[in-house]
């Protein structure tokens, strides 16, 4: 809860300032606030990225500029550290990745909200 509040709270002054200035209806202000919100969701991780993706198709919740910004979460999600991915992979496989793969790219070739893709070759010659 503290991480969520600490990540989203810095957006509040911009939101309040825009409301006081009467600029919330400005597409430029909406885009700026939405960009800050998107960055916060990305920082908070997969669940929040998925929530942002859901918002990207909700014209009843967000203005067009906000929807456009949230759509960036659908196709431009940054990858997370490969050492974390490999740690999870090794835990799931029950041993070091070298035991299962003869080669694996050090960095992902694609990333999404709930995972990322590496190019690899199985030790047994498959894949």
Q: If 0-12 CB within 10 Å is exposed, 13-18 middle and 19+ buried, where does residue 37 land?
A: buried
Contact 60, 77 (CB under 8 A): no
pLDDT digits (tens, 9 = 90+) for 76-127: 788 888 999 999 999 999 999 999 999 999 999 988 877 889 999 998 865 5
The yes-or-no verdict on residue 6 having pLDDT over 60 is yes
What's the full length of the chain, in residues?
Answer: 127
The pLDDT score that the predictor gives to residue 126 is: 58
Model pTM score: 0.70
Calculate the dihedral angle through the C-alpha atoms of 37, 39, 43, 44, rounding to the nearest 10 degrees: 20
């Amino acid at each position: 809860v503290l991480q969520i509040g600490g990540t989203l709270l810095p957006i509040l002054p911009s939101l309040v300032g825009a409301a006081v200035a009467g600029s919330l209806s400005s597409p430029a202000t909406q885009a700026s606030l939405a960009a800050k919100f998107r960055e916060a969701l990305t920082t908070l991780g997969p669940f929040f990225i998925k929530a942002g993706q859901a918002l990207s198709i909700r014209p009843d919740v967000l203005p067009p500029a906000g929807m456009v910004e949230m759509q960036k979460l659908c196709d431009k999600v940054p990858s997370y550290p490969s050492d974390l991915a490999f740690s999870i992979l090794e835990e799931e496989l029950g041993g070091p990745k070298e035991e299962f793969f003869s080669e694996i790219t050090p960095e992902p070739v694609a990333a999404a909200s709930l995972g990322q893709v590496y190019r690899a070759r199985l030790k047994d010659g498959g894949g």
